[in-house]
Amino acid sequence: MQNRLNAYRIMWVMVFFDLPTETKKERHEATLFRKNLMRDGFTMFQYSIYVRHSASRENAEVHTRRVKNFLPDTGYVAIISITDKQFGMMELFNKAKPAGRPTTPQQLELF
């Protein structure tokens, strides 16, 4: 029996965005977009890059659809899903020194 929670089944959804903030309306839309990401369980990885841990590809697709539903009218947004194995191979640096990887949530979500 295949282990359901392995590094190739668990997914990370990453949202990259560059939103305009020149006008009050644009700043409001950018803030609302970030708040909606956080309400859906995303955390800031870097400024304008948010990530979310998902237990499966199907769960990752649910969150990708949610993000698509609250896209702002202007700006650029990219969404990518990668496996936990791929995410774990990422090399992170802080001031040219290796940095630790974000922690994987220990509790599974039940919907």
Query: pLDDT tens for residues 19-54?
Result: 999 999 999 999 999 999 999 999 999 999 999 999
Does the pLDDT value for residue 109 go beyond 80?
A: no
- The CA distance from 100 to 65, in Å, is 30
Does the pLDDT value for residue 110 go beyond 60?
A: no
- All structural domains of the chain: 11-98 (3.30.70.240)
pTM of the model: 0.80
Task: Give the long-range contacts of residues 23-30, CB within 8 A, separation 24 or more.
Answer: 26/74, 29/72, 29/73, 29/74, 30/72, 30/75
Query: pLDDT tens for residues 62-75?
Result: 999 999 999 999 99
Supply the pLDDT for residue 1: 41
> Which tokens hold the place of 57?
């590809």
